[in-house]
């Protein structure tokens, strides 16, 4: 597609340039090609630029606003036409397949014979009479069943469950499956067979979907150009939508103007064997623990195929997960998906994920995100390491528009992109290495941590602290007091829930969080929070008393990645210490901490089980803002979150609102102190 030269030119939708262009002006053509390349790149992330985006493009490319507007109109028209052609082709092929199957079934019915007596085909008139006779017999049997259902309770203490199976012509297979389990018995084998047959039909459908996703994903791993293009702004690999649709035509899952597509590919090396990694990917509990800062919840719904012993080839599971970008301003994403494992060659496995929807229970809800064939290729390097290539590809329906602070980060396929999964996996593998090392090689303990068991117990406690902190940030489904879900002009979110979980304080917990933008690099902000000398400038738990680090355990190769035990210089009356974990990587950093009394901390340090220690974390998450850096200009997104145990139960709405006002003041004053300390107090 070429760019219109005349600002008054309006295209009919085919994207061709006006004929008045001068073909001989090579310099102008080259310049136009650069403009088009920039517009194509922008179009991948945003198909409907707002007025600010159009102004930015005008300044960058030296074009008129109308030229920008018409180019995007033409491009959208072209994409829509291509998509409609692909959908039409797919539907036409599907219709042809159905027509052939229908014809084949009709021909088969003409030659059907009775399997018992090898009788001749039944005529249409005889079939109609037989159908009427069966309907009358079915009505009679139903009446007899109802009579028995009413009589048997008189002779048996256990009542018979009445039939709730709807066998009317309008009842679909999924409606039958979704009904409550029936009290089946050997006297009704036909009914049991029908339920089993329907279940097997759905399993066959899921297997077909998983096989198709695996086939597509393997091709995406094998093909470079023209499917994958490298973004000149950040160097990340994105799918070329036009070429992808030509190679893998399919109907869009969300057909509205709010829908968009995110795609990304990345690779890296991790210090873990391929077999161990595959085992963790196929276990929902281990999967959740492996990505604590991405996966909030993970469950295995059904195991369809266990796979071959030893290599898990052919394993197929129906799973559920909720993933989160870890800001209260962004809603989490939830998926029901099929996970399929296949060994493509010796030492190489592919794990494919694809969304799946069903009419069972909560499956009936329309999701806001749909995972297209995604996943990873795992190559065993036979030295304790594995190479991981990751692809993320999904459609998103932004019913509530993404918050402006996180729009660039999400739309550029960074927030939920392949690189984040790779970086998180590398962090956790480094942590596993530190967990298995002896205490002396990874600790500076100063007489505090002296046993390997104590180090492991303390690391597990800190891991749970980080996971609890990240899980609380979604603030979804935890509002026992819905009126307290506050969204004020400053972007502060509040939720209140009652906790009775093991490992958390029992009682009413208030979660309060906000995210803000600061015109500083992520490294600068991380250094500020990490420095124990500046802690008194923002930490309300220090009560204005300087603190110092009395022990730390390394969790990775970066010197700042470690778990700390922090103590105030002046001992407090309640004998409280601070457990803190810091981490920094190319995509961001976090500082998460929680007060722990000395007695509980001694339990962990001595090597005893720390799973029952109650811990309530607070902290900070820092990341880039997703915008391309312009020279020295850069910005970062910071999430501040506190989780507070209420000493007295809240019983009235007035008390609840007073509580909200108190914690709102707490986080607002903390944000103000941070801005002042970082010389950013002039920001709104």
3-state secondary structure of 53: helix
Indicate if the pLDDT at residue 444 is higher than 70: no
Looking at residue 632, its pLDDT comes to 60
- Residues contacting 524, CB < 8 A, separation 6+: 678
The yes-or-no verdict on residue 501 having pLDDT over 60 is yes
Structure tokens of 605?
A: 């340090």
Name which CATH class applies to 464-678: alpha beta
Query: What is the structure's pLDDT at 10?
Result: 40
How far is the first Cα of the chain from the last one, in angstroms, to the nearest whole number? 41
pLDDT band per the 50, 70, 90 thresholds, residue 454: confident
pLDDT for 684? 60
Banded pLDDT at 480 (limits 50, 70, 90): very low
Please enumerate in sequence order all residues whose Cβ is within 8 A of that of 278, keeping only pairs 6 or more positions apart, or say none.
311, 312, 341, 349, 351, 378
Burial class (CB in 10 A: 0-12, 13-18, 19+), 101: exposed
Per-residue model confidence (pLDDT) at position 394: 94
Q: What is the DSSP letter of 506?
A: S
- pLDDT tens by residue, 338-355: 999 999 999 999 999 999
CA distance 567 to 570: 8
CB-count burial class (<10 Å; 0-12, 13-18, 19+) for 319: buried
Q: What is the pLDDT of residue 124?
A: 59
Asked, colleague to colleague, whether 199-358+365-433 and 464-678 share their fold, the answer is yes
User: Does pLDDT of 153 surpass 80?
Assistant: no
CA–CA–CA angle 284, 285, 286 (5° rounding): 95
C-alpha distances in angstroms, 352 versus 297, 311, 313, 317, 392? 19, 15, 12, 11, 10
What is the predicted pLDDT for the residue at 146? Answer: 73
Residues 6+ apart with CB under 8 A from 479: 485, 495, 496, 497
| C-alpha distances in Å from residue 481, one per residue of 110, 473, 498, 534, 639 | 65, 17, 10, 36, 23
pLDDT higher than threshold 90 for residue 678: yes
Q: How many CB atoms lie within 10 A of CB 321?
A: 23
Tell whether omega for the bond before 612 is within 30 degrees of 0, i.e. cis: no
pLDDT-based confidence at 631, cuts 50/70/90? low
* Long-range pairs, 606-612, Cβ under 8 A, ≥24: 606/451, 606/453, 606/454, 606/457, 607/451, 607/452, 607/453, 607/454, 607/456, 607/457, 608/457, 609/457, 610/457, 610/458, 610/460, 610/461, 610/464, 611/460, 611/464, 611/502, 611/503, 612/502, 612/503
Q: Residue 605 to residues 36, 280, 335, 613: CA-CA distances in angstroms?
A: 61, 28, 39, 12
Architecture of the CATH domain 199-358+365-433: 2-Layer Sandwich (3.30)
pLDDT above 70 (res 241): yes
Mean of all residue pLDDT scores within the chain: 79
CB within 8 A of 64, min separation 6: which ones?
A: 7, 58
Residues 166-224: pLDDT tens digits? 323 333 322 222 323 333 333 343 334 333 444 788 888 899 999 999 999 999 999 98
Q: What distance in Å separates the CA atoms of residue 70 and residue 227, rounded to the nearest whole number? A: 27
Question: Is the pLDDT confidence value at 442 over 80?
Answer: no
CA distance 325 to 473: 9
Domain boundaries, the chain: 199-358+365-433, 464-678
* pLDDT on residue 346: 93
3-state secondary structure of 351: strand
User: Residue 111: what pLDDT?
Assistant: 65
Residue 642 pLDDT > 70, yes or no?
yes
**Cα atoms in the 13 Å half-sphere on the side-chain side of 65:** 7
The per-residue pLDDT for range 298-329, each reduced to its tens digit, is 999 999 999 888 889 999 999 999 999 888 88
**pLDDT higher than threshold 90 for residue 486:** no
pTM score, two decimals? 0.70
DSSP state of 401: P
Tokens coding 103? 């014809």
Percent of all residues in the chain with a pLDDT value above 90, rounded to a whole number = 36
Q: What was the pLDDT predicted at 169?
A: 31
- The larger pLDDT score, comparing residue 128 to residue 285, is at 285
Backbone phi and psi for residue 664, each to the nearest 5 degrees, phi listed first:
-65, -45
Q: How far is CA 523 from CA 527, 621, 650, in A?
A: 6, 12, 40
pLDDT at 439 over 50: yes
Q: Is the pLDDT of residue 648 over 70?
A: no
């Amino acid at each position: 597609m070429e760019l219109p030269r005349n600002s008054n030119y309006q295209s009919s939708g085919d994207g061709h340039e006006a004929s008045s262009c001068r073909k001989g002006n090579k310099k102008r053509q080259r310049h136009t090609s650069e403009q088009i390349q920039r517009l194509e790149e922008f179009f991948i992330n945003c198909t409907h630029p707002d007025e600010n985006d159009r102004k930015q493009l005008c300044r960058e490319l030296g074009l008129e606003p109308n030229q920008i507007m018409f180019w995007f109109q033409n491009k959208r028209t072209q994409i829509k036409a291509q998509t409609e052609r692909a959908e039409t082709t797919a539907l036409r092929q599907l219709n042809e397949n159905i027509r052939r199957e229908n014809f084949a079934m009709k021909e088969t019915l003409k030659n059907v014979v009775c399997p018992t007596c090898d009788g001749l085909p039944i005529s249409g008139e005889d079939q109609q009479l037989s159908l009427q006779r069966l309907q009358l017999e079915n009505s009679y049997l139903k009446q007899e069943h109802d009579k028995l259902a009413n009589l048997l309770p008189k002779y048996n203490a256990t009542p018979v469950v009445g039939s709730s199976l709807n066998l009317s012509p309008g009842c679909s297979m999924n409606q039958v499956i979704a009904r409550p389990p029936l009290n089946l018995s050997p006297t009704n084998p036909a009914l049991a067979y029908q339920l089993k047959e329907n279940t097997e039909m759905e399993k066959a459908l899921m297997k077909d979907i998983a096989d198709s996703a695996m086939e597509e994903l393997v091709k995406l791993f094998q093909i470079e150009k023209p499917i994958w293009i490298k973004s000149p702004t950040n160097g990340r690999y994105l799918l070329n939508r036009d070429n992808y649709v030509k190679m893998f035509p399919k109907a869009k899952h969300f057909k509205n103007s709010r829908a968009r597509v995110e795609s990304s590919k990345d690779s890296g090396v991790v210090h873990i064997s391929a077999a161990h990694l595959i085992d963790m990917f196929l276990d929902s509990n281990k999967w959740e623990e492996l990505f604590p800062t991405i996966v909030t919840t993970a469950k295995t719904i059904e195991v369809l195929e266990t796979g071959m012993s030893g290599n898990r080839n052919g394993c197929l599971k129906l799973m559920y997960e909720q993933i989160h970008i870890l800001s209260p301003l962004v809603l989490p994403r939830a998926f029901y998906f099929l996970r399929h494992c296949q060994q493509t060659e010796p030492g190489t496995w592919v794990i494919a994920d694809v969304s799946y929807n069903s009419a069972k229970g909560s499956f009936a809800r329309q999701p806001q995100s749909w995972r297209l064939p995604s996943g990873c290729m795992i190559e065993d390097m036979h030295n304790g390491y594995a190479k991981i290539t990751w692809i993320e590809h999904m459609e998103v329906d932004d019913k509530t528009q993404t918050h402006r602070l996180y729009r660039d980060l999400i739309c550029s396929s960074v927030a939920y992109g392949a690189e984040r999964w790779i970086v998180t996996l590398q962090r956790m593998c480094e942590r596993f290495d530190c967990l298995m090392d002896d205490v002396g090689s990874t600790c500076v303990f100063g007489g505090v941590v002296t046993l390997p068991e104590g180090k492991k117990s303390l690391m597990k406690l800190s891991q749970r602290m980080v996971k609890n902190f990240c899980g609380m940030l979604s603030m979804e489904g935890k509002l026992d007091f819905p009126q307290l879900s506050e969204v004020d002009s400053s972007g502060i979110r509040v939720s209140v829930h009652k906790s009775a979980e093991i490992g958390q304080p029992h009682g009413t917990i208030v979660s309060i969080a906000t995210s803000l933008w600061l015109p500083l690099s992520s490294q600068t902000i991380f250094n500020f929070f990490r420095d124990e000398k500046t802690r008194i400038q923002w930490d309300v738990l220090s009560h204005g008393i300087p603190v110092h680090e009395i022990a730390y355990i390394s969790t990775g190769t970066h010197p700042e990645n470690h778990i700390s035990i922090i103590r105030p210089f002046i001992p407090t009356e309640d004998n409280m210490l601070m457990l803190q974990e810091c981490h920094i990587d190319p995509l961001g950093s976090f500082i998460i901490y929680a007060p722990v009394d000395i007695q509980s901390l001694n339990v962990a340090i001595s090597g005893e089980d720390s799973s029952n220690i109650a811990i309530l974390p607070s902290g900070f998450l820092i990341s880039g803002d997703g915008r391309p850096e312009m020279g020295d200009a850069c910005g970062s997104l910071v999430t501040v979150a506190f989780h507070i145990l209420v000493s007295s139960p809240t019983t009235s709405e007035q008390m609840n609102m007073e509580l909200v006002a108190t914690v709102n003041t707490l986080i607002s004053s903390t944000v103000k102190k941070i801005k002042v300390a970082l010389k950013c107090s002039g920001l709104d």
